[in-house]
Structure 1
């Protein structure tokens, strides 16, 4: 059974049987990574990591798992681990600390309600007998909780286009684009209302600057500005607490002097 597809009674983050409780002299978990994952309309394999302040003499193995129900560290909807689970079920750790997170319309925990900050639980033990199992008596090092921010992917469905081109200075320049966000309830990219920044980089320069704001209505941007100077245009969406930021493709416009 692959990690990320197990049932409710599948996994416990409790220390192995006979393991000693963590003491002040033990090393500890200092970080759980990554802090963020952007997911579109398919499940995404995420590589996790656990950082400790342990010295290099220990053969550390670890696990990171997510809640299925808030406040319940013993029931999870994905798990990444670097050992072979010694419990009644089998955890697939063949992917060495990665797991598929799939909130899209099926599985144990689904839909847009999962976007934003989610709790993760970390567990580290010392594999003193080097057998790859969590069966070492008194080997528990530390358990800790962290968070991962799950964001719905945002895309520019059609290429951003600034046209026609070339233009003469002062002539109208039409801007067209389409902005869509992954809907985990339906498993589709769907157009969204949003305010985006119009950014410009003058030919020969290296940095973009924001020159205006545009509004996408039902995802559609259809605006007209005046051409001023040759350079590169793009659109930038800042994202929200639940949707990922996104930058469109770049379109170069050559602007000729007035007649």
Structure 2
């Protein structure tokens, strides 16, 4: 539920007709949904914490995408946190409470050269002419795209084979997974509003995907591209 609340945005439709909520309507909706959940499960203390630290109007603006005029590509402060983690655990790991002059020296002579190489890789100005290796997130996105490009029958069949191979007979959770797959086979496909130009979809998978994509968008994009890259259409 919380993952969906983070990703809701006025640009993302929530019905198959392409209806959109305003920022205020999204805040009212997510607050009411979380409140009703806590009330239904007798979680008064949890709701008090969630309201004060997350869902009050002042706090909600700090973490919700809906409070922004556009959909950001980077979540929260993870890039800055990653930078500090590398500095503390890689460059300054052997020092206990280092002096400021030492930290400055390490940043200039150790950290900045790595950042410079990273920027060159991002701007494709390093080793010009050579093919660039895919980064971890690019590999994950490629795998996601290839998986969603397959039909539902093929995906469910592959998932069932994977469960049967890895999970032993009688293993905890195996039967539940197989039952879930069988249920998915008989489930009727839903109807969603999909727009590849804005790259938004009203389905739930779109909201919880780290790449803000889903099988509906990918399949529609494949149809529009006719299976060819953009530069070869």
TM-score by length of 1: 0.19
Which has the larger strand fraction? 1
Larger Rg: 1
Which has the larger helix fraction? 2
TM-score by length of 2: 0.21
